[in-house]
Amino acid sequence: MTILKILFSGTLISGSGGGRKYVELEWVKRQVKDKLGFDPYPGTLNLRLDAENVKRRILLEKNAKLRLCHSEGYCTGLLFKAAIDRVLCGVVIPQIENYPENVLEIMTSENLKQELRLRDGDLVTVTVFV
């Protein structure tokens, strides 16, 4: 089986806190552990994508194999294994109407901003495995 790698580069931005609420849900934590192999840190790292990276994200969505299956009242999410540097992580794309195409949400077992000493405005590259 061939594993395709897609590189995304985006500017680190602060989120609205929605990722934290989502990742703290028990069914989300359980599925991330089962499907990606780690207990997620309560929050996501958000990247703002340029036009070229948005095209890659749309392509990525069409090749989703893993999903976070929703609980009543919550959205599903497309889930992908990924890495930033050597840190194992996951990308989640919420399946919400009008969710911005130029945002990529990353989750991992630790606070990536602290671990990688990142600040809003930094350029971050993530490798996504399809």
Q: What is the CATH number of the domain that holds 79?
A: 2.40.30.30
Contact by Cβ (8 Å): 12, 120: yes
Q: What is the dihedral of CA 42, 11, 69, 30, to 10 degrees?
A: -30
Query: Which domain covers residue 19, as residue numbers?
Result: 5-129
Residue 73: predicted pLDDT: 62
Whose CA is closest to 89, among 24, 40, 18? 40
**pTM recorded for the entire structure:** 0.87
The pLDDT tens digits along the chain (130 residues) read 557 899 999 999 987 767 677 788 888 889 899 999 999 999 899 999 999 999 999 888 888 888 877 666 666 789 999 999 889 999 999 888 888 999 999 999 999 899 899 999 999 999 999 8
Per the structure, the count of domains in the chain is 1
Radius of gyration, CA atoms only, the chain: 13
